[in-house]
Each structure stands twice: as C-alpha cells, then as structure tokens.
C-alpha cells in the first residue's frame, strides 16, 4: 500500500489572493491609527511646551504694581504677593481648570494677622470668579485694598462664600459673613463707634443678588439691604436702625446709594 500523505492543516499560510485582501484592508486602518497617534502626541507636546512656558513666567511680569503690594516672588505657576500690613497672598496655578474654564485658574490662600482665608479663582478678560472661599479675615484688609473707603474697621470675620463673580454680565454673590464685635470709624476722625457682631448675607434670587446686613443677635432687624444686578448695578439702602448703629457710614436712611461695579 502506498504511504498516505498528511492533509494540510487549517490555519496555514494564506494564498496570494487572501494575503492581498488582508493587506488592502489592514493598510488604511494602520495608517489611520498611526495618524491618530501622531496627532495625539503632537497635541500633548504642544500642551506640555505651553505649560512649561507659562510655568517659568515671573509673577512680577503679570501682577501690576499696586499701592498695597509690598513685594512679589515666584512664578505664574506658584508664587506669592505681599500685602501691606503683614499679610501674604499665595497661589498655585491649576492647568486643567484653566483649560476647561478657558481662563487663568488657581488655588489661593491669604494669611496674616487674624487672617487665614483660602479658595479658588478663575480670571477671564473682564471678569473674575471666586468660589469655595472660606476662613477668617481681618476687616483692616479692606482699608489696605481699598484705600479710598470712607471708613475703617477693626474686627475679625468668618467668611463662607461659595461663589462670587465680579465684572462682566453675570455678576453675583453667594456669601455669608459673620463678624466679631469690634470698632469702626470715619477716616480722618479719632472717634470710633463700637459695633456689635454683624451678619452679612448675599443670595442670588433669579437674576438679582439680594444683600442684607443685620445684627448677629437680632437677625430680624435689618440694618442695610441692597441688590446687585448681573450687569453690576449695585443699590444699597440704610434703615434708621442701621444709621443709629453704624454712624460712620456716609449713607442717610431713605436715600438709596447706587453705583456701578
């Protein structure tokens, strides 16, 4: 009997026709995959280069000189600014939030005498948004940052401000600030008024932020009320009780004060 020849196994090498079909199908897919990988690496490379460039920019090249500024150090990525009176503002840039929010986003912290405040910020051309702000702050910082204010105060406040937007056409405030008892007075006068613990609240209702100031122990008594529109139109109204308790404020009761923020 002649010897039997082994049968060819399935899964062996394909013939020339099959190889041509596989090559025709695989080549466009392979080219598309390679193209996507090249684009992905190029985007990552450009993003890394941009981050590296921003990270090395000195903070002094961006922060303008202000009367309250006592010095600046570090870079855009991580730096600090000294505030007259002994406080220091520190920040750490957040590249991801900056990219998603199309602005300059950072985590910040303000420390100093009776002050330990922190939160997040994102700045756009023409507007700035603060969120998750909490901690304690000395009211004297207002006089440093706003030297043209007609009064000054010496007290500490506990701040809880989930969100605030300044500038632009979507301005608002969501905040609750509780102050300790202290003293306030008009600038240029030696006389100072003793001020009890105060509660400041701001809440956005519809397209308007409603503002209210009351004694912390008599919260049904309104000292001052006001509204802030999304366009930045601020209106404040002093009550007779507020005029008696806060005589250093240049706002007579019954006469609204209007300004544009």
- DSSP class of residue 163? E
94 Cα distance to chain centroid: 11
- Identify the residue whose tokens are 């910082």: 141
- pLDDT greater than 80 at residue 79: yes
Mean pLDDT score of the chain, rounded to an integer? 83
Q: What is the average pLDDT across 125-154?
A: 89
More confident position, 220 or 58: 220
- Cα–Cα separations (whole angstroms), residue 203 to 2, 120, 228: 100, 19, 10
Q: What pLDDT was estimated at residue 215?
A: 96
More confident position, 155 or 15: 155
Q: What is the average pLDDT across 11-19?
A: 51
Do 22 and 15 touch, CB atoms closer than 8 A? no
Comparing C-alpha atoms, which of 184, 149, 191, 173 is closest to residue 228? 173
- DSSP class of residue 63? S
Q: What pLDDT was estimated at residue 225?
A: 96
Band (226; pLDDT cuts 50, 70, 90)? very high
CA–CA dist 107, 116 (Å, integer): 14
Of these ranges, 55-59, 62-66, 185-189, the one predicted with the greatest mean pLDDT is 185-189
Q: What pLDDT was estimated at residue 1?
A: 47
Query: What is the share, in percent, of the chain residues with pLDDT greater than 70?
Result: 78
Comparing C-alpha atoms, which of 107, 98, 95, 166 is closest to residue 134? 107
Residue 179: CB atoms within 10 Å: 21
């Amino acid at each position: 009997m002649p010897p039997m020849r082994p049968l060819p196994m399935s899964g062996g090498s394909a013939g020339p026709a099959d190889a041509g079909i596989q090559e025709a199908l695989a080549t466009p897919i392979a080219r598309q995959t390679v193209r996507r990988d090249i684009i992905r690496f190029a985007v990552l490379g450009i993003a890394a280069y941009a981050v590296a460039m921003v990270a090395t920019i000195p903070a002094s090249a961006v922060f303008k000189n202000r009367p309250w500024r006592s010095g600046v150090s570090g870079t855009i990525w991580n730096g600090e600014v000294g505030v007259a009176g002994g406080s220091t503002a520190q920040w750490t840039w957040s590249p991801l939030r900056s990219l998603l929010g199309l602005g300059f986003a950072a985590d910040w912290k303000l420390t100093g005498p009776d002050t330990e405040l922190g939160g997040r910020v994102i700045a756009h051309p023409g507007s700035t948004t603060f969120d998750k702000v909490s901690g304690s702050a000395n009211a004297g910082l207002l006089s440093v940052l706003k030297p043209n204010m007609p009064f000054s105060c010496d007290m500490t406040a506990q701040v809880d401000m989930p969100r605030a937007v300044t500038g632009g056409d979507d301005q608002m405030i969501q905040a609750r600030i509780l102050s300790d008892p202290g003293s306030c007075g008009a600038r240029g006068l030696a006389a100072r008024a003793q001020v009890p613990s105060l509660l400041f609240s701001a809440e956005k209702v519809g397209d308007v932020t409603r503002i209210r100031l009351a004694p912390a122990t008599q919260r049904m008594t309104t000292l001052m009320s006001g509204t802030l529109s999304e366009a930045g139109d601020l209106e404040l109204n002093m009550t007779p009780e507020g005029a008696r308790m806060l005589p250093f404020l240049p706002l007579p009761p019954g006469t609204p004060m209007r300004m544009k923020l």
